Structure 1
Amino acid sequence: MTIRNLDALFAPRSLAVIGVSERPGSLGGIVLANLEQAGFAGPIWPVNHRHRTVHGREVFADVPSLPGVPDLAVICTPPRSIPGLIEQLGQKGTRAAIVLSAGLKEPMAEGGPTIEQLVLDAARPHLLRVLGPNCIGLLVPRLGLNASFAPGNAKAGSLAFVTQSGALATAMLDWGAGRQIGFSHFISLGDSADVDFGDVLDYLASDGHTSAILMYVESIKHARKFMSAARAAARVKPVILVKAGRAPEGAKAAASHTGALAGSDAVFDAAVERAGMLRVDTLEALFDAAETLAHPRAWHGERLAIVTNGGGAGVLAADALSLGGGKLAQLSEATLAKLDAALPPTWSKGNPVDIIGDAPVERYTHSLRVLLDAPEVDGVLFMHAPTAIVPAADIAGACAPVVKNASKPVLSCWVGGVAVGGGYKVFAQNGLPCFRTPERAVSAWLQLQDYHRHQQALLELPDAPPEAVQPDRRAARALVRGALAEGREWLDEAQAKALLAAYGIPTVQTVTARDAGEAADAAVRIGFPVALKVLSPQVLHKSDVGGVVLDLQSHEEVRQAAVRMLERVTREVPGAQMGYTVQAMARRPGAHELIVGIASDPAFGPVILFGHGGTAVELRNDRAVGLPPLNANLAESLISRTRIAPLLAGYRGRPPVQREALVDALLKVSELACDIAEVAELDINPLLADSHGVLALDARIRVRCATGGSRLALRPYPSGLEESVALDGHTLKLRPIRPEDGARLTAFYAQAAPGDMRMRFFHVRRDIPAAEVARYTLIDYEREMAFVALDGDRIVGEARALCDPDNTTAEFATQIAGDWQHKGLGSKLLAKTLDYLRERGTGELVAYTLRENDGMLALGREIGCTVKSGPEDLVTMTLKLR
């Protein structure tokens, strides 16, 4: 389930409150009072078999005796009664319930299922959606709906707030009331037994009354569902969240460097960025984000101008901006001249624009207008400290209209307390972002900056890479399964290198040996110098026990080193099973030691790690993590987020590393993470990188039996859907679209006839903006599919299906290149799309086309679509798939 029946939860026409009472402080009584005070227009039916009236309303004894079918039921009864109530409500026709009660994690009977599970079992046959349990309820102020026991109501507005904490919900309500911030929805998820973040994000993304979504998150249960919904929502409106629990829990019992470094909080950050959301660190910062997002402005860029009547406050703001990675706008000569014309000679002559403490109202308004008109300024921070010259309220009254009509973001900072309170109040009443300190105001600007950076990342299309050599997946899987069959948790070094080699990752030649003699003989075959390393399942970190010796030059040196190593390891790790690996020495002077790895996050599954490697990897703490699958842009971003990144670009005569080889290695590790579910942890440390390429010197890989279900938070490219077809004497490749297809798709649309573009988009389009091309190529394979037909390197056909969150309906569209029309390609693409939709269980195909589109109509009739004419020459075609 996703958004099915959520309209009954968030926009009910009738309500039942089960468990009402006139007892002071009773849960049901508070809910009923809140509903009445909020002004809910529909019928409200109280239920309690012990009362005949409550608050002057008739009370009904039980659910069957209700005079109608409530869209929504609010349940305030003891836990053990709730499964039966849900069953009764489902049978009556109710499709949503809010369970406020706590304690549903306990079993109904010893050894039996929990009460929560029984509630879900009772709800499922009726598709009845459950919010909670253990929540405070929900509010939809514009509908007069306060189905909660919160101590107060909310003003109607455009911000939605979703929380797993009831206490934070009441705090946000109080905060919003004090600042005149309104909300479209206030949703307390509680234990999220049914309705969770993914469901709510899907619903709010398409809600026309919601302009931005704020969330307080403690945990994510269904990562793929969450990521799919978050990516869809973040494309259409801001999604801002704060998450509790920043401690790197994953490091506690990790056996590899990657496992130790890829803590769950870093992974959550990576997920947020990948989805295009914004994470803030504190509840205060979430409030500040709400302040700026309540009244959004078009984003022009990151260059901020600061105007202030106090030089010290301006310097503090400039310092905070610089330390936070922001950009201070460099004012042009023209802008400086306009400011100079109305400011006293002692003004700062630059940015921050210090208009001096004795500034009258006119200086403020003039400076604001000049800065807002300046093309080199993308946003303005307006600051005022108290003076005895002009009351703050007068300044605010004059400046508020300028700020309200601005086309660029403007933040305000009223530095002080009572003396500037009047100005703060005027701005707040006008719905303008207000802050009390320079640092908080700048932090709010940086939040906007980060958010728009994440949004821009969603639109960045990677270049099409050269045709890559396909990995030997069969050999890789056989190697891993062979190790598991032997009961091995860790691949030995030779096996690890073989697995990397199967994916085309360069490695050094490695030979295993059982004893000192075999090691010495292997060294002769490889050629000197060589490195000797311990090979033992009991030894994970070789250097910790003296298990690595380098630059051995002869048969005898290798033999003696092996004997000494045996003695050391036996002393340090009694009972260790001993063997050796012998490797050719890699002569890469000046190469950087990097780490690349795979770790398993309990919520988001496999993650890719990159950073500064070597034996001091934990001490350096220089790494970044990302969710697979990666593309070239995402791999570049992973590299750039580390402190070692500038060094990799070259410095002081040291040449840059071969970037393509490094990116390629990351892409191959990402592909391995997607392909081989049994790989739980992987360390390549060090991965040597220099101007000649990359080389994996050492690798450790932990394997485990793969469990069922979706382990990847993001569905990877479905390579299994690729096929070749013969058509009109050509061999075409039909495959899902890739992010790297941006240039091909742009060319496909550019070469289309105007009439074809009108048939596809219902109006003539000369070109498709880059942002839209990104939307069409960077698709979420979980709920959207686009198949393209390629004749060589050219796209000649496209078919696209977008499924609703419930997978009940898929909207279909297709376009064929002019020289490939009437050759059967449209039928091929449609058949492939139908096979895909039927396999995923989609209920119905829907296509909208123009009445004059004979080709599309013929295609629909060919497969048995129902065709209905609509307004303005629009025709709807539908086909039942199940």
Structure 2
Amino acid sequence: MSELSGLFAPEVVAVVGATEREGSVGRAVFENLLADFDGEVLPVNPNVDRVFDRPCYDSVAETGADLAVVVVPAETAVEVVENAGETGIRNVVVITAGFGETGSEGTAREKRLVEAAETYDLNLVGPNSLGVISTPVGLNATFGPTNARPGGISFMSQSGAFVTAVLDWAEDRQVGFNDIVSLGNKAVLDETDFVESWGDDADTDVVLGYLESIEDGVSFVRTAREVTRGTPVVVVKSGRTQAGASAAASHTGAIAGSERAYEAGLRKAGVIRADSVSELFDFGAMLSGQPVPDDGGVAVVTNAGGPGVMATDAVGDSGAELAELTDDSREALAAVLPDSADPYNPVDVIGDAPVERFEDALEVVLADPNVGSAVVIACPSAVLSFEALGETLASMAETREQPLSACLMGGTSTAAAAAALGEVGVPTYFDPARAVRGLAALYEYRAIRDRRYEEPATFDVDREAAREILGRVETTPDNNLGIESMDLLEAYGIPTPDGEVVDSPAAAREVAERLDGDIVMKIVSPDILHKTDVGGVEVGVATADVEDVFESLVTRARTYQPDARVLGVQVQETVDLEAGVETIVGTNRDPQFGPLVLFGLGGVFVEVLEDTTVRVAPVSEPEATGMLDDIDAAPLLRGARGREPVDEDAVVETIQRLSQLVTDFPAIVELDVNPLVATPDGVAAIDLRLTVDPERLPHNP
């Protein structure tokens, strides 16, 4: 049993604040528990003798309960929780509001709840929670108007109102649940705790969640990544915002933003992201009721051409593949279908098809080795009985290994068929696209379940040199470092062009004379982010002109921004940009998920095209390789239009080395390498900008 078993399967539940008063939360919770709970329900209320003919206890300490449900006012609730902990009760649901969501006084009360939970090792849900439900033991410790029917879905929600709406909706559609938790303020137990608990629960087929935030992204990723190897997790995340991007100083920070962090975090965790409530439960119904396909694409069997085309489009949009039927299958279909029917996928059995023709076509399709799943689309006709079709499909679903999805495009006439299919876990839809997306969730989960996990590589680097370079930020007024700190990249094995930062024309000439060919010169100023905009970069400078160009660059910088700090000029060997692709690699530290690593098309177009992808650090080799696949500009890396392919291995290694750098040094808040020029011969980091938190810098003893 999991450590939360006492929360979901108690033997004795005490309701603190139970009452018979009409319209009260205490009455609703008590009545809901009395209705179905297998165990004992005890009322706690020192102001009355009995509640619904059950003797009342003056204190929760007298009950010996496994679970205490607290519905008294906030001021009293804290004392009740402390009393419960003192007397050995380990599971508490605080339904009462008036805590962290209400202001400073409520925040102080919530802090006391947390302290009590830590002191007495409490499993505490809430406060400000609707409550919890567990159908295996008939536990409905909520004040909602509807109970859940049994099923394989365990569901958590950060909104109590959302739970009540879902329960009402689910009852009408025969959707069943194992456990339900209204998370409330998540003062103690949060989404990570329940994902871990349900991952160990044999009665939970799929975990669904409505979340507005994830409190500890690092812990959530670590936990969910293990759980999703055996139990699918699907989340709809609200509160999408770019607010985090507006305050970011770097390209990476501006592009990443909080929403990109959640995308990257959920991806690393192996969590399927639903875009809407309907998708959340479409995916949940499919994942809880249907087998995961072993191999093969999607087959469509339909009696209507238009919906069949819609389903075909949806397959392409979903990322799944349309199955290509074998010659034998097409011959078999031709033998059982009218001459006017289409034996190709999508298989159109045409409008006059009775149930038997659907069955014959589906038998052929499911026997095809290229078919991993099938969606059946049926529109009303005079010769088709939806009820008979539902019974036939239900029977086939029980004897076949491939998952099925049914699109019954009708109204009340489809009710009996939907009920029959629901009994065997086959979801039904009106919209062909939804029927396909449900199947696509199975394919997505298969990829998550089977994907290769590797520990991030650990490279031989010079951490001491990196620590010294980062320490220079302590002498800057704004915590920013620039190309004067290129040695940081070299310390972590990231190639940079030969060159130096100099502070005089003569020094510039000296450096140029030891470099081959023409020179690139750049103004070095932490206050000037876009050097090209101010004429702060000169390319193809001859050695004889280096001193004059030095003076010119400094003059332009001071004219453009008189108060800018000018640290000198970088004199650097030329990298042939025409022979390579300008990319960007960078990092941004997210408050929930920690350091993010960004890769994409770089140079001057990075903010315009925003062709980038993000991962949560540390980044492994397969993850870094996947980043190259993600961007729209991937063909440029692989030699589009006759160009020679770049050294992808060098790019992948650079992403990993940068990931190690920001993992090793939490003081790095943001970092851009833009451009990182990728060529057939390797990579070269041309420019660098980073922000460092001096308070998080490591120091020598």
Paired residue for 2:674? Answer: 685
1:608 and 1:627 in contact (8 A); partners too: yes
Paired residue for 1:31? Answer: 29
Paired residue for 1:52? Answer: 49
Structure 1's unaligned 5+ residue stretches are 710-882
Whether 1:216 aligns to 2:210 is yes
Whether 1:563 aligns to 2:551 is yes
Per-residue CA deviation, residues 548-579 of structure 1 (Å, 9 max, x unaligned), is: 12111143x33333333333322332311222
Whether 1:77 aligns to 2:66 is no
Paired residue for 1:233? Answer: 227
Per-residue CA deviation, residues 321-372 of structure 1 (Å, 9 max, x unaligned), is: 1233321111111111111111100111200000010001110111111111
- Structure 1 distance, partners of 2:75, 2:171, is 37
Q: Secondary structure at the match of 2:336?
A: coil
- Structure 2 distance, partners of 1:301, 1:512, is 57
Paired residue for 1:585? Answer: 574
**Structure 1 stretch 577-586 or stretch 563-572: which is displaced more?**
563-572
Paired residue for 1:104? Answer: 99
The Cα shift of 1:219 comes to: 1.0
Q: Secondary structure at the match of 2:189?
A: coil
Gap change, CA 1:591 and 1:109, over 3 Å in 2: closer
What is the letter of the counterpart of residue 505 of structure 1?
Answer: I
Q: Secondary structure at the match of 1:328?
A: coil
What is the letter of the counterpart of residue 83 of structure 1?
Answer: V
Q: Secondary structure at the match of 2:333?
A: helix
What is the letter of the counterpart of residue 205 of structure 1?
Answer: G
- Structure 1 distance, partners of 2:281, 2:477, is 52
Paired residue for 1:475? Answer: 465
- Structure with greater helix percent: 2
Whether 1:196 aligns to 2:190 is yes
2:96 and 2:128 in contact (8 A); partners too: yes
Gap change, CA 1:706 and 1:354, over 3 Å in 2: farther
Within 5 Å, give how 1:416-815 maps onto structure 2.
416-457=410-451, 459=452, 470-484=460-474, 489-495=479-485, 497-555=486-544, 557-578=545-566, 579-705=568-694, 707=696
Gap change, CA 1:613 and 1:108, over 3 Å in 2: closer
308, 327, 332: which is aligned to 1:333?
Answer: 327
What is the letter of the counterpart of residue 558 of structure 2?
Answer: T
- Structure 2 distance, partners of 1:696, 1:593, is 10
The Cα shift of 1:216 comes to: 1.2
The Cα shift of 1:525 comes to: 4.2
Whether 1:366 aligns to 2:360 is yes
1:107 and 1:114 in contact (8 A); partners too: no
Paired residue for 1:782? Answer: none
The Cα shift of 1:707 comes to: 4.5
Per-residue CA deviation, residues 752-787 of structure 1 (Å, 9 max, x unaligned), is: xxxxxxxxxxxxxxxxxxxxxxxxxxxxxxxxxxxx
Q: Secondary structure at the match of 1:183?
A: strand
- Structure 2 distance, partners of 1:550, 1:108, is 58
The Cα shift of 1:113 comes to: 6.6
2:583 and 2:678 in contact (8 A); partners too: yes
Whether 1:118 aligns to 2:112 is yes
Paired residue for 2:39? Answer: 42
What is the letter of the counterpart of residue 59 of structure 2?
Answer: D
- Structure 2 distance, partners of 1:125, 1:94, is 12
4+ residue segments displaced more than 6 Å: 106-110
Whether 1:300 aligns to 2:300 is no
The Cα shift of 1:435 comes to: 1.0
1:217 and 1:244 in contact (8 A); partners too: yes
Per-residue CA deviation, residues 351-394 of structure 1 (Å, 9 max, x unaligned), is: 00000100011101111111111111111011101112222222
What is the letter of the counterpart of residue 179 of structure 1?
Answer: R
Gap change, CA 1:324 and 1:293, over 3 Å in 2: closer
Sequence identity of aligned pairs in percent?
A: 36
- Structure 2 distance, partners of 1:7, 1:279, is 28
1:302 and 1:449 in contact (8 A); partners too: no
Paired residue for 2:373? Answer: 379
Q: Secondary structure at the match of 1:263?
A: helix
2:286 and 2:425 in contact (8 A); partners too: no
Gap change, CA 1:562 and 1:485, over 3 Å in 2: closer
Structure 2's unaligned 5+ residue stretches are none
Per-residue CA deviation, residues 811-848 of structure 1 (Å, 9 max, x unaligned), is: xxxxxxxxxxxxxxxxxxxxxxxxxxxxxxxxxxxxxx
1:23 and 1:29 in contact (8 A); partners too: yes
Paired residue for 2:15? Answer: 17
Q: Secondary structure at the match of 2:380?
A: coil
Alignment length (residue pairs): 697
Where relative contact order (Cα < 8 A, 6+ residues apart) is larger, the structure is 2
- Structure 2 distance, partners of 1:107, 1:215, is 24
Per-residue CA deviation, residues 593-612 of structure 1 (Å, 9 max, x unaligned), is: 00011111111010111100
The Cα shift of 1:22 comes to: 1.9
What is the letter of the counterpart of residue 42 of structure 2?
Answer: W
1:108 and 1:115 in contact (8 A); partners too: no
Paired residue for 1:820? Answer: none
1:5 and 1:128 in contact (8 A); partners too: no
**TM norm structure 2:** 0.95
What is the letter of the counterpart of residue 557 of structure 2?
Answer: V
Q: Secondary structure at the match of 1:156?
A: strand
The Cα shift of 1:665 comes to: 1.0
The Cα shift of 1:521 comes to: 4.4
2:155 and 2:179 in contact (8 A); partners too: yes
Gap change, CA 1:431 and 1:179, over 3 Å in 2: farther
Q: Secondary structure at the match of 1:616?
A: helix
2:283 and 2:441 in contact (8 A); partners too: yes
